[in-house]
Amino acid sequence: MSYQSVLRPGLFEGRVYIVTGGGSGIGRCTAHELAALGAQVALVGRKQEKVDAVKTEIEEDGGTASAHSCDIREEESVQATVKAIIAEHGRLDGLVNNAGGQFASPLTGINQKGWETVVRTNLTGGFLMAREAYTQALSKTGGSIVNIVADMWGGMPGMGHSGAARAGMVNFTQTAAVEWAPSGVRVNAVAPGWIASSGMDNYPAHMKSWIRSLADAVPIKRMGTESEVSSVICFLLSEGAAFISGDCWRIDGGGSQGSRIWPMPNAKNNEPYNGFHRATTPKVLSED
């Protein structure tokens, strides 16, 4: 089998894209779709073995990828990694700023170290990757950047550190879209809602029942798939989105529009799209 993208074959032939957090979840899926559409993909992650595994998958499927270990929170590491990617592939056409992470806690339970760690990962790291992609390549050639944020509208209770960082990344997206437009660089963001992805398995056991109930808060009464996020990312990277910049697209089944005073009955005609032939269901959703 191969990736069943909704976009035309060969769309990204000859292009090179960096995908951070490419070793799992949405990043892994997006890397596969980009490669299936002809792109060379530079996978970036903290753990070399994870990006190596995805590189192997892509090559087994007939695509082209490279794997790079990098802590995006460290400026010198980011600078060196972007430089190495451009040297290896000969060019750079865009960046998918997907790497991120957080832990569940009320605000009163977050100490300074925990707060700063999450902000550095979800905001500072994304800024460093985007700045280096721009200064080292895209400022000369043009291109596209897509930042992955989160559904943090109305606050993000239980993950306030992540919500603050993601809101900052949306503002950074808007600013960069203006400052970098003269170079032909578009900058957008996507905000996934509840997506059935491997990241759900990273939360503690006591959160399992809550995770399984998340679909009830979505108007279309289901979680999203990784493919439903990846398809939007790939579209925003494409020439079809040439007049879209500084925007943030919510991929959440209408969840961010919900209201407690409006009933949410059972939904119909809401079959998910899943073009990712290597997708797996998170353990937390498949266990009894």
pLDDT tens for the 288 residues of the chain, in order: 799 999 999 999 999 999 999 999 999 999 999 999 999 999 999 999 999 999 999 999 999 999 999 999 999 999 999 999 999 999 999 999 999 988 889 999 999 999 999 999 999 999 999 999 999 999 999 999 999 999 999 889 989 999 999 999 999 999 999 999 999 999 999 999 999 887 777 777 777 877 788 888 889 999 999 999 999 999 999 999 999 999 999 999 998 887 667 778 888 888 899 999 999 888 878 765
Tell me whether residue 10 is in a domain. Answer: no
CATH label of the domain that carries residue 168: 3.40.50.720
The answer to whether residue 214 sits within a structural domain is yes
User: Does the residue 2 lie in any domain?
Assistant: no
Residue 9 is assigned to a structural domain of this protein: no
Q: CA torsion, points 11, 197, 271, 250, in degrees to nearest 10?
A: -70
Q: What is the tally of structural domains in the chain?
A: 1
Report in angstroms the alpha-carbon separations of 44 from 12, 54, 59, 97, 247: 19, 10, 16, 10, 24
In this structure, is residue 8 part of a structural domain?
no
Sign of the C-alpha dihedral computed for residues 53, 54, 57 and 59 taken in this order: negative
Indicate whether 187 belongs to any domain: yes
- The Cα–Cα gap between 140 and 241 comes to 20
Identify whether 1 is part of a domain: no
Strands 64-69 vs 40-45: parallel, antiparallel or unpaired: parallel
Helix, strand or coil, per DSSP, at residue 207: helix
Q: What is the pTM assigned to this prediction? A: 0.92
The Cα 182–Cα 18 span in angstroms is: 22
DSSP 75-129: HHHHHHHHHHHHHHHS---EEEE-------B-GGG--HHHHHHHHIIIIIHHHHH
Nearest to 176 by CA among 151, 150, 141, 139: 139
Rounded to whole angstroms, the Cα distance separating 131 from 79 reads 9
DSSP sequence for 27-67:
HHHHHHHHHHTT-EEEEEES-HHHHHHHHHHHHHTT-EEEE
**Phi, psi (rounded to 5 degrees) for 250:** -90, 125
Q: Say if residues 36 and 58 touch (Cβ distance below 8 Å).
A: no
Domain region containing 33: 16-269+279-286
In a domain, residue 30? The reply is: yes
DSSP 8-class letter at 218: S
